[in-house]
């Protein structure tokens, strides 16, 4: 079969294994690294990959062959944990943070997520859409082709729904795959202090509408001191499971209050953050097959010393990912490459582990591994191309954008750090 397009002579191509489950423990340090490699697309899907000369039977009269020597390629990057859709921003809290006020203290005085809640409620659909589109484009320019996006800055149905509808419209209009998560259980407004169970009841009552209107695939909850307890989080996630949602949980981010154990008990797809996770809970998650979504940009931005214990998780046989947490508060950052670099420097992951974390494992974390996350024949031709000499360079040289091209389903969508006009994309 002839390819539509073949990119040839990559210095290196990162080709993850896909054994049918997320890569766990030592599996995360394995991958095929192809030297002098080609990648062939057909009808928006991967047709073939290999090293050296392109087999003659892939090249027809219409095939476009492009030399990519001096570049590397990897499957389109997947950012599997973001809070993308929000009103306003929080730079007015930056000095407080720099002066030593903690994230939970800022929240307690009515700032933090509560301040974004107000700004989001006051934003129209179009305002949220335009702002989020800019953010998605920034992520794509940095190499991302699939993004998980949470609601959670509305709490009331009207605003939560608006946030999820923005995600749906972006999924339809932009060349990125967006995966929607319903996270109304993100904050407790002061008027509900002491009545958190009532809030959980209200959120559970919204679930059938989220389902009926196909607004989200996942349900998430912020299990944290001063937010939701482990018992409340469990109640919500079990109700979500009963309705057929996949589940996630923000666990052990600032204090360890049992969220990771809840993830294991309810069979959540993933547990997020895990900076303060206990050894016992790591083992519970490993046994239950919960993926650990690690967000080193958040630890960095919260100016904390304790990064998630990635090595312990890998030693225990867990599967982990690395993701941005892109949000207006704890991590105002949309560059997955920077989170990957922090993954090496502060989570002490190897480059191969980090690349697996943001490709095949992130694909499992958003339940898209059948179509993205690796370069196996038949998966979507989503590809991130960087102008660097080798895979290690892209992680070692931090803080700049190495991406030169992004392909989504075989189409060039980013070139020279700019979105390609969809009318011109081919």
Site of interaction with ligand NIG (CB under 6 A): 83, 112-113, 116, 222, 250, 253, 298, 325, 327-330
222 binds, among ligand NIG, Fe ion, none (CB under 5 to 8 A by kind): ligand NIG
Backbone angles phi, psi at 82, to 5 degrees: -140, 155
Judged by CB, which is closer to Fe ion: 15, or 274? 274
CB of residue 200 vs ligand NIG: minimum separation in angstroms?
16
Distance (Å, rounded) from C-alpha 314 to C-alpha 361? Answer: 13
Nearest approach, Cβ of residue 29 and ligand NIG (Å): 27
353 touches, from ligand NIG, Fe ion, none (C-beta below 5 to 8 Å by class) = none
**Contact indicator for 133, 149 with CB cutoff of 8 Å:** no
Residue count, binding to Fe ion (CB under 5 A): 1
- Contact of residue 116 among ligand NIG, Fe ion, none (CB under 5-8 Å per partner type): ligand NIG
Which of residues 129 and 222 has its CB atom nearest to ligand NIG in the complex? Answer: 222
The residue (of 89 and 278) whose beta carbon lies closer to ligand NIG is 89
- Comparing CB distances to ligand NIG, the nearer of 272 and 405 is 272
330 binds, among ligand NIG, Fe ion, none (CB under 5 to 8 A by kind): ligand NIG
Length of the chain: 426
Would you say 325 or 353 has its CB closer to Fe ion? 325
Task: Kindly tell me which of 35 and 134 has the beta carbon lying closer to ligand NIG.
Answer: 134
Per the listing, tokens 């934003």 go with 123
Distance separating alpha carbons of residues 307 and 323, to the nearest angstrom: 13
Query: Per the structure block, which two tokens stand in for 238?
Result: 């079990």
112 binds, among Fe ion, ligand NIG, none (CB under 5 to 8 A by kind): ligand NIG
**Distance between CA atoms of 355 and 365, rounded to whole angstroms?**
14
Question: Of 329, 357, 339, 341, which is closest to residue 297 (Cα–Cα)?
Answer: 339
Task: Read off the tokens for 79.
Answer: 């950012």
Residue 389 C-beta: closest distance to Fe ion, Å: 34
Taking the complex as a whole, how short is the minimal distance between the CB of residue 196 and Fe ion, in angstroms? 19
Picking from 143, 11, 8, 145, the residue whose alpha carbon sits closest to that of residue 64 is 8
What is the footprint of Fe ion within residues 267-306 (CB under 5 A)?
none
- Contacted entry of Fe ion, ligand NIG, none for residue 298, CB cut-off 5 to 8 Å set by kind: ligand NIG
**Nearest approach, Cβ of residue 83 and Fe ion (Å):** 6
Q: CA-CA distance, 287 to 299, in Å (whole number)?
A: 26
Q: Look at residue 107 and give its three-state secondary structure.
A: helix
Site for Fe ion in 234-273 (CB under 5 A): none
Residue number of the CB closest to Fe ion reads: 325
d(CA 367, CA 207): 20
Complex with ligand NIG: residue 75 or 112, whichever CB lies closer: 112
Give the CA distances from residue 65 to residues 43, 59, 417, in Å, rounded to whole numbers and listed in that order. Answer: 15, 8, 22
Whole-number Å distance between alpha carbons of 274 and 281 = 10
State the nearest-atom distance from the C-beta of 343 to ligand NIG, in Å.
16
CA 343, distance to chain mean position in Å, is: 14
**8-state DSSP, 52:** S
Q: Which tokens is 32 given?
A: 């095929």
Residue 409 in contact with residue 344, Cβ under 8 Å?
Answer: no
Q: In the bound complex, what is the minimum distance in angstroms from residue 360's beta carbon to ligand NIG? A: 23
Could you tell me the smallest distance in angstroms from the CB atom of residue 272 to Fe ion? 6
Burial class (CB in 10 A: 0-12, 13-18, 19+), 194: exposed
Binding mask 311-330 for Fe ion (x = CB under 5 A): --------------x-----
Nearer to ligand NIG, 298 or 404 (CB): 298
Least distance (Å) between residue 11 CB and ligand NIG: 36
Contact 317, 282 (CB under 8 A): no
Binding site for Fe ion (CB under 5 A): 325
């Amino acid at each position: 079969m002839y390819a539509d397009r073949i990119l040839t002579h990559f210095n290196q191509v990162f080709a993850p294994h896909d054994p049918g489950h997320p890569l766990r423990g030592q599996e995360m340090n394995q991958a095929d690294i192809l030297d002098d490699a080609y990648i062939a697309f057909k009808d928006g899907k991967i047709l073939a990959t290999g090293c050296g000369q392109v087999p003659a039977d892939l090249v027809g009269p219409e095939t476009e062959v492009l030399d990519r020597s001096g570049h590397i390629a990897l499957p389109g990057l997947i950012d599997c944990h973001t809070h993308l859709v929000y009103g306003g921003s929080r730079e007015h809290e930056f000095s407080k943070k720099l002066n030593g006020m903690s994230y939970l203290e800022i929240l307690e005085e009515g700032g933090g997520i509560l301040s974004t809640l107000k700004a989001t409620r006051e934003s129209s659909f179009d305002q949220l859409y335009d702002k989020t589109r800019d953010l998605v484009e920034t992520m794509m320019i940095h190499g991302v082709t699939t993004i998980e996006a949470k609601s959670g800055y509305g709490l009331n149905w009207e605003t939560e729904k608006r946030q999820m509808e923005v995600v749906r419209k972006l999924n339809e209009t932009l060349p990125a795959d967006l995966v929607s998560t319903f996270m109304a259980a993100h904050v407790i407004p002061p008027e509900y202090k002491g009545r958190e169970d009532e809030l959980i009841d209200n959120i559970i009552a919204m679930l059938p509408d989220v389902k009926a209107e196909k607004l989200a695939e996942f349900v998430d909850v912020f299990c944290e001191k001063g937010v939701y307890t482990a018992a409340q989080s469990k109640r919500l996630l079990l109700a979500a499971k009963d309705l057929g949602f996949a589940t996630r949980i923000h666990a052990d981010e600032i204090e360890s209050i049992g969220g990771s154990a809840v993830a294991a008990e309810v069979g959540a797809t993933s547990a997020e953050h895990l900076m303060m996770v206990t050894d016992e809970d790591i083992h519970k998650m490993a046994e239950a097959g919960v993926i650990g979504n690690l967000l080193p940009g958040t630890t960095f931005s919260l100016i904390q010393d304790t990064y998630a214990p990635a090595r312990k998780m890998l030693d225990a046989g867990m599967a982990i990912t690395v993701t941005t947490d892109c949000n207006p508060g704890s991590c105002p950052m949309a560059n997955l490459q920077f989170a990957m670099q922090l993954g090496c420097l502060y989570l002490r992951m190897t480059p191969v582990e980090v690349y697996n974390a943001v490709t095949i494992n992130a694909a499992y974390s958003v339940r898209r591994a059948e179509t993205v996350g690796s370069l196996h024949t038949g998966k979507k031709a989503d590809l991130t191309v960087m102008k660097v000499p080798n895979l290690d360079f892209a992680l070692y040289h931090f803080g700049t954008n190495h991406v030169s091209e992004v392909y989504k389903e075989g189409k060039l969508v980013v070139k020279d750090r700019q979105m390609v006009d969809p009318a011109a994309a081919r």
